[in-house]
Amino acid sequence: MRATVFRHGKRPGKDLFLAGNFQFPALVRQARPCLNERMKICAITMVYRDHWALGQWYRHFARQLGAEHLYVVAHGADPEIARICPGASILTIPRADLSRFDTRRGDMLNAFQNGLNQIYDWVIRTDADELICLDPARFDSFADFFARQRRSAVFALGLNLGERAEDATLQGDEPVLNHRQSAVFTGNYSKAWAVRNRIGLKSHGVQLRPARVEGFPFVMPRGAYLVHLKYANSAALARSADHRREVAEQPGLGNPGQAWLNPGTDSRRFFKQFEALPELPWEEAEPRAYADISTEPVREPGPGVVRARRDTPRLRTRLPDWFSAL
C-alpha cells in the first residue's frame, strides 16, 4: 500500500479544501468509513525528521484506526515519511520560515483539523511522540470510547515514559511500550487530544472564544492516557536536539520555550528527577494522579485556553502489562 503524498505549491482549484484561512488538498473528501461504520475517527500529527517517534505513532494509530485514516503534515520535504507511514495521507508544507513557529503551526493544524471534522466524527491530534492509550478494561476501542462522549473535547491523563539506566538500547523500530515501563504522571502532558464541532487546540488545552472559557467542560475520562515518548529513547532524543534548538532560536514571540532552546539541560534535569523519584505501584499512583490532575483546570480568558494544571506532584510508576499489548 502506497502513501498518498500531496506536494506544496499546487494551484488552488476544485481539488483543494478550504478550512479557515488555509487551503488543503481534498484528501479529506477521500476518507473511507472507520473500523466502526457509525463512528468515523482519524488522527493527525506534524513532524520534522523525528522518524523514530513517527514510526511509533504510525504503528499505534494505524493498528487502532487504519492507516487510511492517518494524516501526517511533513514540515519540509522528506521522502522517508512515506516509507515509515504506508497508506497514510502526507501533506508537505515549506520549512523556509520558522518565525512564530508554535503560533503558526497551531493555527494551521486547527484549520486542517476543522476541515477533517467536516467528515469525521472525531479528530485525534497529538505530536508525533505522543500515543493515546485506552485501558482495555474500560474501552473496547477508540470507537467505543468516543461513542460514550457527550462533549466536544477530551483530555487524557499524561505520562512521561522514561528510559532507565538499566534499560537496553532500543533497536530499530521495536514497539517502545514493549521495552519501556517506567513513567511519571505529569499535568503538563495531560493534554487535550481529540475534538469535534470546530474546537481548536492550543497550549496543551483547547482554544475557545474568551466568553466560553469559564463555562467550558473540562473532560478527562478515566482510563485514557497520553504517553509522551520524548524521554523513552535517549539516542533519538540526542538526534532531535539540533532541530529543536534551531526552532527555539528564532526571534520574536510564538516559539517553543526553554525545553527546546536548551534541550541538553532539559533532558539532564528530567533524568535526574526521574531516577530520584520513588516508584509507586500503578494501583496507588494512578488514582492519586487522576484525582489531582483531572480537577480544577486552568482557565485563561485572555488567550481563550482551558488546560490541565501543570504544577502537579510527580508520581513515578510502572505501566501495567496491558500497555505493551496495544
CA-to-CA separations, 4 to 30, 31, 182, 305, in angstroms, rounded: 11, 12, 36, 34
The domain containing residue 207 runs over which residues?
A: 4-325
Nearest to 130 by CA among 164, 158, 170: 158
Q: Measured between alpha carbons, how far is 295 from 248 in angstroms, rounded to an integer?
A: 32
Question: What is the tens place of the pLDDT at every residue in 57-95?
Answer: 999 999 999 999 999 999 999 999 999 999 999 999 988
Q: For residues 132 and 124, is the Cβ–Cβ distance under 8 A?
A: yes
Q: What's the confidence (pLDDT) of residue 12?
A: 34
Give the total number of structural domains in the chain.
1
Q: For residues 70 and 224, is the Cβ–Cβ distance under 8 A?
A: no
Nearest to 113 by CA among 207, 232, 237: 207
The angle subtended at Cα 64 by Cα 61 and Cα 69, nearest 5°, is: 65
The dihedrals phi and psi of 235, each to the nearest 5 degrees, come to -65, -45
Give residues with Cβ within 8 angstroms of 86, minimum separation 6. 1, 2, 3, 67
Q: What's the confidence (pLDDT) of residue 87?
A: 98
Q: For residues 219 and 238, is the Cβ–Cβ distance under 8 A?
A: no
Residue ranges for the chain with pLDDT beneath 50: 1-36, 250, 253, 255, 260
Q: For residues 315 and 185, is the Cβ–Cβ distance under 8 A?
A: yes
